[in-house]
């Protein structure tokens, strides 16, 4: 089974034509003395390629700086929130503030936070 080369050629030509036209335009502009036009065009293309990459890296940097992942101080459920915002724990519903990369319970002045400790009761037997 042999393929007719005349059937393959138009397909290849369709693929190559934009490149050949581009190269021809660059060569013509360069020979006429409009190399600066080609350079500015290439600069624009480079800018179009670099800008999304820089944007993506910047966004990643911003998210890493702004997004805080910590455990809820009430129920220890781990979740993420934006830094310097107020949020609610999705697990227990406690209102929390996000400061210095940590979740904190907003407390009004004069409130003392205490930790409850379970103490086993000792029975003292009287032998008398
Ligand atoms: Zn919680």
Would you say the pTM of this structure is higher than 0.85? no
Instruction: Give the distance (Å) from ligand 1 centre to CA of residue 19.
Output: 60
Instruction: Give the distance (Å) from ligand 1 centre to CA of residue 100.
Output: 18
Q: Chain-wide mean pLDDT for the chain? A: 84
Q: How confident is the model at residue 65 (pLDDT cuts 50, 70, 90)?
A: confident
Instruction: Give the distance (Å) from ligand 1 centre to CA of residue 35.
Output: 64
Instruction: Give the distance (Å) from ligand 1 centre to CA of residue 22.
Output: 61
Instruction: Give the distance (Å) from ligand 1 centre to CA of residue 95.
Output: 9
Residue with the larger pLDDT of the pair 6 and 96: 96
How far apart are alpha carbons 23 and 102 in whole angstroms? 57
Q: Give residue 108's pLDDT.
A: 76
């Amino acid at each position: 089974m042999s393929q007719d080369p005349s059937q393959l050629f138009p397909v290849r030509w369709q693929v190559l034509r934009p490149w050949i036209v581009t190269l021809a335009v660059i060569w013509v502009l360069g020979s006429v003395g409009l190399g600066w036009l080609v350079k500015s065009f290439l600069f624009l293309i480079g800018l179009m390629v670099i800008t999304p990459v820089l944007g993506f890296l910047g966004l990643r940097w911003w998210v890493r700086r702004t997004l805080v992942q910590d455990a809820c101080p009430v129920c220890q459920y781990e979740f993420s929130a934006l830094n310097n915002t107020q949020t609610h724990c999705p697990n227990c519903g406690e209102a929390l503030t996000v400061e210095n990369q940590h979740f904190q319970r907003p407390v009004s002045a004069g409130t003392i936070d205490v930790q409850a400790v379970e103490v086993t009761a000792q029975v003292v037997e009287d032998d008398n």
